[in-house]
C-alpha cells in the first residue's frame, strides 16, 4: 500500500507528504521511543524497503538503503565509544567481539520487533510482503539502522546517540553478564590454546531419536580431560553445549 501523497517525479522527493493516516502511525512510533522528528518524511523513508521502490516506477529510488548506510556508521561509532569508556581494562579484542555481537543482525532484529515494533511500520513490495518480509531479520535490522540514520539527519548526533544507547546498552549488559549468545567453542579454544598447542577435539558420541527429531550427543576432549557428553538438536548445538560445560568446569565461564 502506498502511504505517500505526491505528484513529483521519481527522481525528486523534496515535496513528498505522508498521508494523515500514515502521519498518525509515525507519531505513534515516535511516542513509543520518546523521540521527535521535525521532518516525518525522513522517518517514513526509513521504513521503505527496496522491494517497494523496485515495484514502483514513480518511486523508483524511494527506499531506506542510504539511511541504512548512514545509520550503520552512527550505530557503530556510538557503540564503540560506549564500550571504550565502559570497559577500560579490556583489550581491543574484547571490545570488538562485544561490538560485533550487539550490532549484528541477530541482535538488531529482536530490537526491531520487541522494542521498536518496526514490523508494523514497514512498507514492502507485494512480493516481499507475500513471502514474509515483514518478519525477516535482515529487513528488520536494516530498518533499525535506517531509523538511526534518519534521526541523525533530522535532529543531530546527540539525539541519535541517545536512541542508540537506549537500544544497545541492554544488549551490551547481557553479553557482559554472560546472558548473550556466547560462542562457547571460541572461548574454550582461546583459553585452551594459551597453554597448549593442541585444539579441543569434539567427538560425536551418539545420535538418538527418529530421523525427523534427532538428538546429538557430543564430548569435547582437551588432551587427557574430557567433558560431556552434552546433547543438542543439531551437532553444532551439542558441540556448543559441551564447550560450555568445559568452560564452566575450567572457570572460563560462570554457570
Per-residue model confidence as pLDDT tens digits over 116-152: 999 999 999 898 888 998 999 999 999 999 999 999 9
Which DSSP symbol is given to 63? S
Predicted confidence at residue 5, as pLDDT, reads 43
3-state helix, strand, coil in the chain (%, to 5): 60, 10, 30
Examine the pLDDT at 14 and tell me if it is beyond 60.
no
Mean pLDDT over the full length of the chain: 88
Examine the pLDDT at 166 and tell me if it is beyond 90.
yes
Query: Does the active-site annotation cover 142?
Result: no
Predicted confidence at residue 228, as pLDDT, reads 93
| pLDDT tens-place string over residues 38-56 | 999 999 999 999 988 877 7
Record the cell numbers describing residue 54, joined without a space. 523496485
* Phi (first) and psi of residue 127, to 5 degrees: -65, -45
The catalytic position among 72, 128, 154, 253 is 72
The pTM assigned to this predicted structure is 0.68
The catalytic position among 145, 154, 230, 239 is 145
Query: Does the active-site annotation cover 145?
Result: yes
| pLDDT tens-place string over residues 59-70 | 777 899 999 999
d(CA 158, CA 153): 11
Higher-confidence residue of 233 and 114: namely 114
**Average confidence (pLDDT) over 156-173:** 96
Q: Are 107 and 101 in contact (CB under 8 A)?
A: yes
Predicted confidence at residue 246, as pLDDT, reads 94
Amino acid at each position: 500500500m502506498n502511504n505517500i501523497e505526491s505528484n513529483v517525479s521519481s527522481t525528486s522527493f523534496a515535496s513528498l507528504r505522508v498521508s494523515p493516516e500514515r502521519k498518525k502511525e509515525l507519531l505513534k512510533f515516535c511516542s513509543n521511543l520518546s523521540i521527535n522528528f521535525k521532518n516525518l518524511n525522513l522517518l517514513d523513508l526509513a521504513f521503505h524497503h527496496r522491494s517497494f521502490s523496485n515495484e514502483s516506477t514513480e518511486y523508483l529510488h524511494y527506499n531506506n538503503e542510504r539511511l541504512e548506510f548512514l545509520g550503520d556508521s552512527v550505530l557503530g561509532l556510538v557503540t564503540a565509544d560506549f564500550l571504550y569508556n565502559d570497559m577500560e581494562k579490556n583489550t581491543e579484542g574484547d571490545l570488538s567481539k562485544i561490538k560485533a555481537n550487539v550490532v549484528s543482525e541477530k541482535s538488531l532484529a529482536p530490537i526491531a520487533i520487541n522494542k521498536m515494533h518496526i514490523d508494523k511500520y514497514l512498507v514492502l513490495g507485494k512480493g516481499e510482503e507475500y513471502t514474509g518480509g515483514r518478519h525477516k531479520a535482515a529487513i528488520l535490522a536494516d530498518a533499525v539502522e535506517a531509523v538511526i540514520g534518519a534521526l541523525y539527519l533530522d535532529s543531530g548526533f546527540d539525539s541519535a546517540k541517545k536512541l542508540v544507547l537506549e537500544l544497545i546498552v541492554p544488549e551490551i549488559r547481557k553479553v557482559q553478564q554472560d546472558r548473550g549468545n556466547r560462542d562457547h567453542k571460541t572461548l574454550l579454544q582461546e583459553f585452551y590454546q594459551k597453554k597448549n598447542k593442541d585444539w579441543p577435539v569434539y567427538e560425536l558420541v551418539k545420535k538418538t531419536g527418529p530421523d525427523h527429531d534427532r538428538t546429538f550427543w557430543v564430548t569435547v576432549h582437551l588432551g587427557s580431560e574430557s567433558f560431556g557428553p552434552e546433547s543438542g538438536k543439531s551437532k553444532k548445538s551439542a558441540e556448543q553445549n559441551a564447550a560450555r560445560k568445559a568452560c564452566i568446569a575450567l572457570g572460563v565461564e560462570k554457570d
